[in-house]
Amino acid sequence: MINSLLRFGLIFIILVILQVLMFNNIQFSGYVNPYVYIMFILLLPVEIPSWLLLMLSFGTGMVIDFYSGSPGMHSTATVLAGFVRPFILRSNSPRDGYEPGAQPSMLTYGFRWFLLYAGIMILVHHTLLFYIEVFRFADFFRTLLRVLLSSLFTLTFVLIIEFYRKGR
């Protein structure tokens, strides 16, 4: 219990530092803004209570908001991601279901499963985030392009980090 608390605390801190110090500063023609911190929501245990998941999502979003100077923007998107996560996990479950105490990692369930799971989660999160950021439906397709490109980059970074974790 204490062990996993420490582990997730560490993951959280590393991801926030990565996000704030590195990914927030990526300026790639205005279309690519990866938000890798969403990986924290991805990695939480499968059997985590929904209310705790939502609270953690909100807290994560608030911390990122605090560093980005955009109150409410990331928390709204992250809470949505936390809300849909159980549904995605259920509809994407492996043939013999999740084991007790399982973690949604590439090591346990394979590359394809993780790709699908992370892809959908990141897409949901980024869609809401980017549309909230522009807050208008003018330039709808331009925003959509930003969502797709940024999701792709975030997914790439998440997969790289996951590969690194897997190798450890």
Q: Looking at beta carbons only, is 39 or 80 nearer to another protein?
A: 80
Q: Looking at beta carbons only, is 24 or 70 nearer to another protein?
A: 70
Q: How far is the CB of 72 from another protein (least distance, A)?
A: 3
Q: How far is the CB of 63 from another protein (least distance, A)?
A: 13
Nearest to 39 by CA among 153, 144, 157: 157
With vertex at residue 14, the alpha carbon angle to CA 161 and CA 67, rounded to the nearest 5 degrees, is 120
Per the CB < 8 A criterion, the answer to whether 106 and 162 are in contact is: yes
Alpha-carbon gap, residue 77 to 61, rounded angstroms: 8
Q: Looking at beta carbons only, is 50 or 156 nearer to another protein?
A: 50
Q: Looking at beta carbons only, is 58 or 67 nearer to another protein?
A: 58
Q: Which tokens sit at 86?
A: 């159980």
Q: How far is the CB of 47 from another protein (least distance, A)?
A: 14
Q: Looking at beta carbons only, is 106 or 128 nearer to another protein?
A: 128
Which backbone phi and psi does 129 adopt, to 5 degrees?
Answer: -60, -50
User: Alpha-carbon dihedral of residues 158, 163, 167, 168, nearest 10 degrees?
Assistant: 0
Per the CB < 8 A criterion, the answer to whether 165 and 105 are in contact is: yes
Residues of this chain that interact with another protein (CB under 8 A) are: 50-51, 54-55, 57-58, 61, 65, 70-73, 75-76, 79-80, 82-83, 86, 132, 135-136
Tokens 């690519």 -> residue: 32
